[in-house]
Structure formats: C-alpha cells, structure tokens
Amino acid sequence: MKSLSYLYLIMLIVFGCNNKNNNIFKKIQPNNIIFEKTYELKGEELEIDAFVSNNLIIFDTLIILVTPQSETLYHAISTNDYNWDKKFIRKGEGPNEFQNVLKPLSYEKKDNDLLLTFYDKAREGLFHYNLTQSFNQGIDIFQDTISLGETTEIYRAYKITDNKVFIDNLDFINLNQIYSVYEDKKIISTDTALVSGLINQSDSYIMTTITSFNKNKLKYAGAMMFMDQINIYDINNPNNSLAITANNNNRPSINEVSQTLMPYKNEFYVDLRQTDSYIFGLYANQSRKEWATGDNPGVIHILDWEGNPICKLKTKEKLIHFDIDSNSNTLYGMTEKEEIIKYNLDEISELAQSGK
C-alpha cells in the first residue's frame, strides 16, 4: 500500500511537470523578447465598400476582401485609386463548386497574368485562379497546378517551385503538427514541429496558428492564438528554427489553456502578415470574451525573420485583420465595423522605405 502511495505521488509529480511544459515548438524554450520602441499610427479611413467582409489580403496592386456572406466570394479593389473594383468567383462555381471560402495562400505573376494560389482538399492539391484572364474574359478560369496525392489533414500548403510544396498538416491521432516538403508526388522530408502533449481531440483547436510563408527566405512563421508565441521554422535548416514570446513570465502552459473555460481563454495573436523583411503579428492579449465584446485595440508586434524585435505599433482603431502593401509601404487594416483604414509605415523610422 505504501509503495502504491509513492507511485501515485510520482505520477502526480510527472503529470504536474508535463502540465507546465511550454516548449511545444521543436521542444525549444521560446526566446523572451522586449520591444523597446512603441509608435502610434494615425490612419485614414478609405471610402471602400467592405460590407460583409471578414478578411482582407494585399496581392500586387489589389486589396482583396473575403466576402463569404455575399453572392461572390471575393471583392478586389485597386490600391492605385481605390475606385476600380471587381467581384469574382460566384458561389457554386469553380472546382468542386465552391460553397465555402478558400483563402488564397499566395500569388504570383506569370506571362503578365496575376495568379492566385489556393489549396483545395477536394482536388487534393494546389491550383491557380487566373485573375487577369478571368477579369478580361468575364469568366472564372481555374488552372490545376500541383497534386498532393493522398496527404491528409492539410492545414496549409505553399508552393516552393513548380514541383515542390511545403505542407503543414495535423497528426489528428497524436494532436501534433507535422511540417513536410513534398516533391514529385512524394514526401522528401518531414518534421514533427509542434508537439502538443494533449490527449483530448476536442482540444485540437488550442493549436490554432495563423501562418505566413516567406518564399524568398524559405521560412514559415506561425503565430499561436492561445499559446502566446510566434514560431519561425527554417525549412532548409530546421535546427535553426526558433520560438519567440513577449510574455515569458506569464505564458500559460497548453494544459492550463485546456483547463480554462472558453470565454476566459486568452487570445494572443489574432492575425499575422509579412513582408520579405518583417513579420507583423496582431497581438490582442485579451480573453475571448473581452476581445469579442470590448473595444480595446490590440497592438502589432514587428520582428525580423531572425526573431529580433523591431518595434510595436498602436492604432486608435480596433483592427481585426490587416495586411501590408510592400510596394507603397502601407498597412491596411479592417475594423469590426468593416471600415478599411490606411496607415503610412514610412512615418516609422525603423520601417521607412523598408517594407519590401
């Protein structure tokens, strides 16, 4: 009986230690960073109809609004004058007759055409939407690109070359996140990047990560909504990957998050965008209830791709989504009231003329 008591005590100690384990990304202890400079951006509201929009993306010279509640899934507005606009991809059209919005993952220019890249589970791969020719011809033009075969539970997939893709997918049995490189219809490398330690599959949402892929640097950034950290994965050199937190002293463990009632779970990063030089993370650091019902804005954390802190940006407006136009060094934000706000990053010395 006494030995059983000791065994029980040991199990409690081990389980308690596991509960406090915060090193879920590559088993790396996150670097604690300090932003020494904070700036307040002054915005200009644009006269853009963003009705029923729930996200915005900057591609080339276009603001693309995601509009799942309207008859068309997307609405494009020119950043040159904000007057030219075009709605595209009607519900029920496209591959597998789109009924749900698939957020474009990236874009590229090919033969003077602007191509938007999507991942679609039904088509088992990446495909292009030829935006230029679709607009010119008045019909939606979709082009198959790279098949990903039977790879399952894909969370994100980004094209590296015409025959190579970086894949982020969920191991739904062990509740881990797997990063792989897929080339010529086979996986050539794989890495268990996020190890949750969770048991209950209903907790898989705790791994929610807003991601961004830097094709030039071959790095993949992930800002965790519930875990108060940004992970930067080096695809060529995974051992050089790192995790960053701005709140190491009070950062919750994954089990503490699991045990907190949903309205009181903190939402940390709620959006993530990038330029070739910087990572921009919209940091709420509020409970889900406070973020959903309050009017306190978040702040934008800016890092370089080596994980070094650059500065923090504050806005008077409460932004829920944003993106960066590297060509003009402009930040566009969307508020809960579906307002589109424009901010000039050249006003910030650390960012002036360096948004590309």
Higher-confidence residue: 24 or 354? 24
Q: How confident is the model at residue 65 (pLDDT cuts 50, 70, 90)?
A: very high
354 or 79: which leads in pLDDT: 79
Greatest CA separation found in the chain? 81
Distance of CA 110 to CAs 114, 124, 165, 250, 328, Å? 7, 23, 18, 47, 22
Q: Return mean pLDDT, the chain.
A: 89
Bridge partner list, 146? 126
pLDDT score of 185: 81
Residue 356 is predicted with a pLDDT of 46
Nearest to 204 by CA among 284, 258, 267: 258
- pLDDT, tens only, 193-241: 999 989 888 999 999 999 999 999 999 999 999 999 999 999 999 999 9
* Cβ–Cβ < 8 Å for 102, 144: no
pLDDT at 161: 92
pLDDT score recorded for residue 199: 87
CA 30, CA 231: separation in Å to the nearest integer? 9
Using one digit for the tens of pLDDT, what is the confidence trace for 113-139?
Answer: 999 998 877 777 888 999 999 999 999
Q: Which domains does the chain have, with CATH numbers?
A: 26-347 (2.120.10.30)
pLDDT at 94: 57
pLDDT digits (tens, 9 = 90+) for 31-55: 999 999 999 999 999 999 999 999 9
Residues 6+ apart with CB under 8 A from 293: none
For residue 20, which of 252, 207, 230 has the smallest C-alpha distance?
Answer: 252
Whose CA is closest to 323, among 294, 300, 298? 300
What's the pTM value of the predicted model, to 2 decimals? 0.90
pLDDT computed for residue 247 by the predictor: 85
pLDDT above 50: residue 355: no
